[in-house]
Amino acid sequence: MVKNITVFTTNTCAYCGMVKKWLGAKGFTYEEVNLDQNPDRQQEAFEMSGALSVPVTIITKHDDSREVVIGYNLAKLAPAIA
């Protein structure tokens, strides 16, 4: 069961929009952290993902475990929110 979802994005990332659209179509709400507007949170995204790319989607479950999905990767994103 999903507790919350955070999506790290940038203004120019096409895949970020695709992840947000997909989550919305599935009925999920999420917090968007735009790294262009919040550059102070770039380190946070990197520490969680190990990646310098976006989108980075963090799915926190009710047991506080986390799934980290880098990019528009439905093969990982779909089971993570199930």
34-60 pLDDT tens trace: 999 999 999 999 999 999 999 999 999
Whether residue 63 is contained in a domain is answered as yes
pLDDT band per the 50, 70, 90 thresholds, residue 1:
confident
Q: Does residue 35 fall inside a structural domain?
A: no
**Residue 22 located in a structural domain:** no
Has residue 54 been placed in a domain? Answer: yes
Q: Is residue 65 part of a domain?
A: yes
Q: What is the pTM of this model?
A: 0.95
Residue 1 lies in a domain: yes
Supply the range of the domain harboring residue 56.
1-9+50-71
Q: CA 44 to CA 80: how far, in whole Å? A: 20
Number of domains within the chain = 1
pLDDT over 90 at 3, yes or no: yes
Would you say residue 56 lies in a domain?
A: yes
